[in-house]
């Protein structure tokens, strides 16, 4: 009884429940193509990137790739637009737009700090989990404490502050004042508003809101009132922008409209006090052109010669 008979066929195995049979395909049509993964486990030189960034539905492909690259850089590595433009084939304009996308969705934060020598530098902070600051993870069984019970600011791993603070955002500073025209004609203000609305076509960083356009329109009208061509105004507002980007385009334009305001044009006499300007005519004696109120006359030299001959 203890000896097994090798000629006995093996017992049939129980069928898998549901639709999990290894030889049975799923209810959907079998796809021969599609992405296949050939993965190997990393042991050195790797970066953990969340799918919330790699599969973001609103970020562009350039912004996603740039966000992954920034998260892979070591601490203290340069991450300005000039360095990134020299590293990648994309230009500075596209890289600046991608950085603004990451900053808008919380994956990037740019801060200005003053060094011990008084120089102001821009510090770029890459955030790998922007939602961590908005939705803190609660541990089961641990009582939830209020923010007032912890006077110190909560910090993440390695002493770094969260990417998005839960404190109330500070109100934005008002825009600087701009010059006003002497006569605010509706047509002049409309032309100034059209010039401001068209600036983003010449530089994508100068995209203004309706509130900013209404604030800056009187300043542009003051330039146009002083006989400055619209092309010259546009050139003065868009030339020599900072390479690291513009945080508040409206504030920069307001400063330029005030600091670079040209002087008023020289005083011109009214048309009633100016001497009359006669049309050009040809002299009947020498056929030389001169101005005269009546046709069929001679120039000054010919009239002098006639008088001397007489």
**Nearest in space to 238 (alpha carbons), one of 226, 229, 247, 246:** 246
> Model confidence over 37-95: pLDDT tens digits?
888 888 888 888 888 889 899 999 999 999 999 989 998 888 888 899 999 999 899 99
Please write down the long-range contacts of 103-109, taking CB distance under 8 Å and 24 or more positions apart: 105/56, 105/58, 105/59, 105/130, 106/130, 106/131, 106/163, 106/164, 107/53, 107/67, 107/163, 108/67, 108/70, 109/163
pLDDT at 94: 92
Domains of the chain and any CATH numbers: 51-131 (1.10.10.10), 186-259 (no CATH), 271-309 (no CATH)
pLDDT at 303 over 60: yes
**Residue 19 CB contacts under 8 Å (≥ 6 apart), including other chains:** 26, 27
pLDDT at 259 over 70: yes
- The pLDDT confidence band at residue 97, using thresholds 50, 70 and 90, is very high
> Model confidence over 261-272: pLDDT tens digits?
988 877 665 555
> Model confidence over 178-228: pLDDT tens digits?
988 888 788 888 999 999 999 988 888 888 889 999 999 999 999 988 888
> Model confidence over 274-302: pLDDT tens digits?
666 777 788 888 878 777 777 777 888 88
């Amino acid at each position: 009884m203890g000896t097994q008979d090798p000629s006995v066929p093996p017992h049939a195995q129980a069928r898998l429940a549901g639709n999990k049979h290894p030889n049975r395909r799923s209810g959907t049509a079998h796809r021969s193509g599609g992405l296949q993964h050939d993965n190997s486990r990393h042991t050195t030189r790797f970066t953990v990137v969340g799918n919330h960034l790699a599969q973001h539905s609103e970020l562009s492909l350039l912004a996603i790739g740039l966000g992954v690259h920034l998260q892979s850089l070591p601490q203290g590595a340069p991450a300005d637009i000039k360095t990134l433009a020299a590293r990648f084939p994309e230009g500075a304009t596209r890289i600046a737009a991608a950085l603004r996308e990451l900053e808008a969705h919380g994956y990037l934060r740019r801060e200005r700090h003053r060094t011990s020598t008084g120089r102001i530098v821009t510090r770029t902070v890459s955030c790998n989990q922007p939602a961590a600051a908005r939705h803190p993870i609660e541990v089961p069984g641990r009582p939830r404490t209020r923010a007032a019970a912890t006077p110190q600011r909560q910090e993440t791993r390695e002493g770094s502050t969260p990417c998005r603070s839960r404190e109330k955002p500070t109100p934005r500073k008002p825009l600087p004042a701009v010059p006003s025209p002497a006569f605010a004609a509706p047509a002049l203000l409309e032309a100034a508003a059209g010039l401001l609305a068209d600036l983003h076509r010449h530089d994508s960083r100068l995209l203004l809101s309706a509130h900013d356009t209404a604030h800056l329109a009187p300043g542009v009208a003051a330039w146009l009132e002083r006989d400055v061509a619209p092309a010259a105004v546009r050139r003065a507002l868009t030339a020599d922008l900072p390479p690291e980007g513009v945080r508040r385009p409206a504030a920069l334009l307001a400063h330029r409209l005030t600091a670079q305001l040209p002087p008023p044009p020289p005083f011109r006499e009214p048309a009633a006090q100016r001497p009359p300007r006669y049309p050009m005519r040809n002299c009947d004696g020498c056929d030389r052109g001169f101005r005269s109120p009546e046709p069929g006359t001679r120039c000054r030299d010919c009239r002098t010669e006639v008088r001397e001959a007489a």
